[in-house]
Amino acid sequence: MGGTFDHLHEGHKLLIKTALSISNKVIIGLTTQDLLKNKIYASKIEEYEIRERNIKNFVCSFTDLKRVEIIELNEPYGPPINEPEYEGLIVSQETYPVALKMNEIREEKGFNPMIIIVIPILKDRNKKRISSTSIRENLS
């Protein structure tokens, strides 16, 4: 899986828990600050180190951290488009089109397509989509 994981929320946690419930080892591509310059409310995105620490703390709360490898994600698709050994990808409904494109690129290179597991978008008490963008928008 890959993403910004900014202001780690329940949607992120569901992605991570799902991945770890079906995999022995999970690689999380964590987007670097450089790739985030054009994101909405970019100035309110937590620093890479904070986002990485939050993921590690969450993982440690329910399993062995050795099951997770966090790598820097410097481009939109990450290693799975260049490394055939990737077997699956956990995405949100929002990023499903990216997963399809990744599989298309993999198949062009002669790699097996990855199994794509799509996690539904979670909503808060007010029936609004939980997202890092909305969290950043509401920060003062």
pLDDT digits 0-9 by tens, 42-92: 778 899 999 999 999 999 999 999 999 999 999 989 999 999 999 999 999
Phi, psi of 120 (to 5 degrees): -65, 155
Q: What is the pLDDT of residue 34?
A: 86
- Runs of H (alpha helix) within 1-140: 10-22, 48-60, 96-108, 132-137
Q: What is the pLDDT of residue 62?
A: 97
State the chain's mean pLDDT as an integer.
Answer: 90
List of domains in the chain: 2-137 (3.40.50.620)
Most confident of 10-14, 43-47, 135-139: 10-14
Q: What is the pLDDT of residue 79?
A: 96
Q: Which is nearest to 51 in space by CA: 9, 96, 99?
A: 9
Residue 94 is given by DSSP the state G
Measure the CA–CA gap between 112 and 38, rounded to whole angstroms: 32
Q: What is the pLDDT of residue 132?
A: 61
Please name the helix (run of DSSP H) or strand (run of DSSP E) that holds residue 28, with its range, or none.
Answer: strand 26-31
Contact indicator for 114, 81 with CB cutoff of 8 Å: no
Residue 121 banded pLDDT, cuts 50, 70, 90: confident
Strand pairing class (68-73; 88-92): unpaired
Contact indicator for 30, 70 with CB cutoff of 8 Å: yes
What pTM did the predictor assign? 0.88
Measure the CA–CA gap between 105 and 66, rounded to whole angstroms: 30
Q: What is the pLDDT of residue 70?
A: 98
